Amino acid sequence: MSTRPRPGEALVGGLADAFATERASASPAPRRPARRRRITAPAPALVTAAPLSASLADLQRFFAGIVMHPDSVNAGTAAARCGAVRGFAEAARLERVLTSGPQQDALERIGVYHYAYHARLVECLADDFPTVRHALGETVFSRLARAFIAAHPSRSANLNSYGGGLVTYCRAPRRSIPRRAFVADLATLEWAMVEVLHAAAAPTLSTDALRTLSPERWARLRFRPSATVRLLRFDHPVNAYLQAFREERAPRIPRPGWSATAVYRQGFTIWRMDLSPPMAEVLAALFAGKTLGDALAALQRRHADAEALVPMIMRCFREWTEGGLFAALEE
Amino acid sequence: MPRPRRSAQPAAKPAGNRFGLPNLGIGVGLRTVHYAHVLEHQPDVDWFEIISENYMQTAGRPLHILDQIAERYPIVMHGVALSIGTTDPLDLDYLRDLKRLRDRVRAPWLSDHLCWTGVAGRNSHDLLPMPYTDEALRHVASRVRQVQEFIGAPLFLENPSTYVGFAASTMTEWEFLSALCSETGCGLMIDVNNIYVSSRNHGFDPADYLAGIPWDRVVQFHVAGHDDNGSHCVDTHIGPVTDPVWRLLGDAWQRAGGAAVLLEWDAQIPAFDVLHREALRAGTFIADAAPRPRPRRRPAAVGGAR
């Protein structure tokens, strides 16, 4: 059986497709746990130098400067000491700010937070972009994610929208990302799925509304898109790649090639529908607010076989309407 | 209306907290991998706790599923992004969303952590430690009062697991929490796994921690698994709860006169039945812990039952 999606074919979804996972709860487990050391009698926290006098705000800026530093915790500590936080240049010893513990010095201890900060955000991006991660491989994806995190730290209390910035980041020219154009297309597709997942459900146009229309009214109709649909055009066949990845067919990165996909939610299932060029043209014109008559006229100007295409497009309307792509009709 | 559910723990009477909030029994954290199971099988769980932020800034499928689950089970909200300790301004949009979600799922209380998550507009999405100083206490107390006024209810703060302390601290965490309760009327959600993890990381005796908690402020407990790396422990919420943590729960539950217990398991999450079975082990450790009378305390200055 061919698993390659055909234009107009709806693909995958369902409750088990739970790619929107928990964002922040516990500290990520260290990838390589520290060497076990035998603990004897617990000792009180060690303060070996007079505490540095600093305001709460300065302490927090110093701490965050280390934890969020893109390089190592050592580099973060050095940068925080030299940074804009008043008084911390005097903190020649980190122990004047942070305590050592029974088994770890202050640097190792704040290193737990430095590791967790980066691991959590990389994990968040990996949740939203599993196919991009597959395409790039773990190491390159992690490098990309960390570069993005350094350039665009989260500024929201919520991580649900954080991954959206990665799409723009990948699209920026001169960015050093292998197969950047393909990765940007793939990231766009995966992010559209996240957006559609979180979009508010709203009433959609029923097929009954189409059935009662007289033929002469069709040309004047405008089809307002649903909030739970995204129409995407790509320079690579990324939907086919994503589908192959989900079916564990170990896809190879494809050559450039035009493709278009509608991502939409029907009920609470996310669907992806590949579109042929005429279908994408008509949908794009409708979503831009043109009447159906104008959209079909434009199609006829561009395609020699347009007369044959129009019946196919009209058949698609039933599928698009049943899929909830339209919110309402306007005349 | 949530239907009544069988509790696996002995009844603790009278209500163990001054807020008059119910002991919901033994619950588990609601996680996406279990959505289908919960909806299809409607397992006999006393209650669920959600991570509030997973249902904020979304209007789609997560909320739809939560609505269905909230029809059948009590839902308690536990946040990770309030950042009560940050020196940045309070995020009123966040509080508005939080309050809207609480009303939507009819959560009997909502909790977050004694921590800060970022500063200067940048969010680490981690629960960062506070210095336990007079300045920090005044700062956090002022913000707790503002939050309580905004949400029209007491705020419940969880003791965090911490991996480093501040040299400037002048009091212990439990002294800080106790003072915060006195000054603001806020309540506590005690995570006994965090007490254990922090005790290992800082070298204090968990018994001292328990002795310093104002137990009439406690409405809920957390238990969870952790990673023991020898040199330090990390609160990973992975794996079963260790016996020392269960024993701490037994002791704490007794001191509180009984309170709701919740198991957190956030990575390498097992099948729902395995998770629930682990949560119900709490019953073993609190079965013999009959509530005992607590010393009387002055009424809270601010806040109270909703």
Does residue B144 form part of some domain? yes
Instruction: For residue A117, give how far its alpha carbon lies from the nearest alpha carbon of chain B (Å).
Output: 6
Asked if residue A21 has pLDDT above 80, the reply is no
Does residue B72 form part of some domain? yes
pTM of the model: 0.87
Does residue B14 form part of some domain? no
Structural domain that includes position B102: 26-288
Task: Look at A66 and A306; give whichever has higher pLDDT.
Answer: A66
Which among B124, B133, B135 has the least Cβ separation from residue A117? B124
Does residue B299 form part of some domain? no
Q: How many domains does chain B contain in total?
A: 1
pLDDT one-digit tens code per residue, B275-285: 999 999 999 99
Closest C-alpha among A244, A241, A279, A250 to residue A262: A279
Which among B29, B33, B131 has the least Cβ separation from residue A56? B131
Asked if residue B89 has pLDDT above 70, the reply is yes
Asked if residue B156 has pLDDT above 90, the reply is yes
- Measured between beta carbons, which residues in chain A are less than 8 angstroms from residue B53? 23-24, 157-160
Does residue B282 form part of some domain? yes
Asked if residue B173 has pLDDT above 90, the reply is yes
Asked if residue B27 has pLDDT above 80, the reply is yes
Does residue B15 form part of some domain? no
pLDDT average, residue stretch B184-194: 98
CATH number assigned to the domain comprising residue B237: 3.20.20.150
User: Which residues on neighbouring strands pair with residue B51, listed in sequence order?
Assistant: B78
B67 touches chain A (CB under 8 A): no
Q: Do B128 and A113 touch (CB under 8 A)?
A: yes
Q: A89-99: string of b/e by CB count within 10 Å (b at 16+)?
A: eebeebbbbbb
Contact A295, A278 (CB under 8 A): no
Instruction: For residue A134, give how far its alpha carbon lies from the nearest alpha carbon of chain B (Å).
Output: 20
How far is A168 from B41, CA to CA, in rounded Å? 42
pLDDT > 70: what percent of chain B? Answer: 89
Query: Which two structure tokens, joined as six digits, stand for B58?
Result: 């979304």
Q: Do A25 and B80 touch (CB under 8 A)?
A: yes
Does residue B87 form part of some domain? yes
pLDDT one-digit tens code per residue, A261-301: 999 998 878 999 999 999 999 999 999 999 999 999 999 89
Instruction: For residue A31, give how far its alpha carbon lies from the nearest alpha carbon of chain B (Å).
Output: 11
Give pLDDT, residue A86: 59
Nearest CA in chain A to B116: A60
Which ipTM value was assigned to this complex?
A: 0.89
Does residue B305 form part of some domain? no
Instruction: For residue B154, give how far its alpha carbon lies from the nearest alpha carbon of chain A (Å).
Output: 21
Q: B25-58: string of b/e by CB count within 10 Å (b at 16+)?
A: bbbbbbbbebbeebeeeeeebbbbbbbbbbbbbb
Residue A89 — pLDDT band, cuts 50, 70, 90?
A: low
B302 touches chain A (CB under 8 A): no
pLDDT average, residue stretch A211-240: 93
**CB within 8 Å of chain A, chain B residues 193-252:** 199-205, 224, 227, 229-232, 234-238
pLDDT one-digit tens code per residue, A165-211: 999 999 998 788 999 999 999 999 999 999 999 998 888 999 888 88
User: Mean of the per-residue pLDDT values for chain B?
Assistant: 90
Give pLDDT, residue A218: 87
- Measured between beta carbons, which residues in chain B are less than 8 angstroms from residue A110? 163-164
Q: Work out whether strand B122-128 and strand B156-158 pair parallel, antiparallel, or are unpaired.
A: unpaired
